[in-house]
Structure 1
Amino acid sequence: MPYETFVCESAKVGQVIQVISARDQDLPQAGQRFSFKSPQEGVKTKNFTIRDFGNNTAGVVTLRGGFKRRSQEIYHLPVLIEDGGLQTLSSTGTLTIRVCGCDTDGSLLTCSAEAIFLPVGLSTGALIAILVCIVILLVIVVLYVGVRRQKKKETLMTSKEDIRDNVIHYDDEGGGEEDTHAFDMGTLRNPKVIKENLFRRDVKPELGLCPRRPIASQNSADISNFISQRLQEHDGDTSAPPYDSLATYAYEGEGSVADSLSSIESVKGEPQEDYDYLNEWGPRFKTLAGIFGERSESQSDVTSSTTTENKH
């Protein structure tokens, strides 16, 4: 099985980065004796060495400092293990050492490859995928917030479906001030009512706005021209009363089924009418038919008496 450990980039010279041990599974643990050393004893390596502690353990010691993952991230250290029996048996194993970033107290922070000594390790690809997902979520949130703010600024007249030629939308403040091709200010004016010194007739003008009349010369003998001039001034003076007002006229009874509501006796010499048709409207109009029937009979009597007197 592979054996792995790590060394911090901030490791110093002579620092023990890992303690290793050995055990014979076929023999009881009591009485076992193992020694550790490098296969090429007497030849010093440049990076790491093995230091036997004499109690069936040994330490991996650094021979230099300044390890960098960019220059080299993996080192291989061969380890020779011998037992203390009559017939010495030995075995050689290889220890893989990775260069990792550590905290100030030597705790592992990150490695370029798979993080060791963790129950569940995450590969570099998995970490990159997680970071990409987080970035995508942040971008979606930012876009959503931006769209919500943009919808609040839109008015009712900024409909994208409104494609009429005479409707132009300006979303920015002050937009369209230089647009002189989309509209013509001359079309907004009525040439029939454009006059110089034109005053409003619905509001009484202030005294300061009234045009000054020229003072007639006392030495002028042309009285006719003076009167004509004053007459023209008064005819064209829009500040003179009466001022314009709104008056609504309508005919009496217009829009009503019963027509005019004027009194029947408002017109003298009203011709005699027959109100017998009221009896045909039913018992609800019986009283009204009786009233108008009596009035028609009295008018007939008055008419007949007047005719008799005229004959005499």
Structure 2
Amino acid sequence: MNSSFNARNAVVALVLLGLALLPLYSALSGNIFILTLFTRIVIFALAAASLNLIMGYGGMMSFGHAAYLGIGGYAVGILAFEGIGSGFIQWPVALAVSALYGLVIGALSLRTRGVYFIMITLAFAQMAYYIASGLSRYGGDDGLTIYKRSNFGGVIDLSNRVQFYYFCLGCLFGGLYLIWRIVNSRFGMVVQGVRSNEQRMQAIGFHANRYRLVCFIISGTICGLAGALLANNTDFVSPAVMYWTRSGDLMVMVILGGMGSLFGPVIGAILYLVLEEVLSQFTEYWALIMGPLLLLIVLFARGGIMGLLGRMSRG
């Protein structure tokens, strides 16, 4: 058992060390693109980690999680469009709107279970997508260009690639730490207990839906933070970021890395987006190659990459 845990920890340590030293490699090699690519990867890793909180630990299979990416991004973009460029205003608004959306959607969708829950979260995400498409003042289907990144009054310059990368990495580490604290708290234990046996948890006095709802809101708020980062990274936000296929991408990242493991979504995001980037350089039909590769990984690596590492160590 110890070798299994040591193997996982070794891989996680190497990944985290690589992420921390990436700007140094980029500067020494002159490869600016890799820094741009991994900034995007870190942002999506944060979004995937937020989904893992409800899907891996809470057993809530949300198929509309990408809606929070769009909500966080549009909060930043719309305020910038209206002349409010301060990050100290934009970002709290992005988090608050994401939390409010999570509260409303969670209160409605958590009344259902199984495939009905999946379809309701998908339906609400598609509603958010069509609402954003109808905002003609803010670009409609064409999206909204953000001409100036969030201003934090000289505390940090988001226009600087290296500073922005480390800011994103700091948000990822902060998000992972928050999730770790939640999962290992009494609240987190109840959420995991509800996932395993809801009837028993209710019988001993826990209100299952209240715990699920709070977890759902926290997850959406963290993903809204990822949306604010993504909007600043691309200097653009569009309804496409809320489309159901993007929610599917986040689910694949979580499953690929390992549901219910803290660092699984990070490893899943790195593997998925690096594969996407490499394959797309060879063919525009990269998805036809990616699909079977992911299928093989899922079939032969139960528990994702983290689960595979554990079995290889025991073997």
Normalized per residue, the structure richer in strand is: 1
Greater length-normalized contact order (CA 8 Å, ≥ 6 residues apart):
2
TM bucket normalised to smaller: under 0.3
TM-score, with length taken from structure 1: 0.18
Structure number with larger C-alpha Rg:
1
TM-score, with length taken from structure 2: 0.17
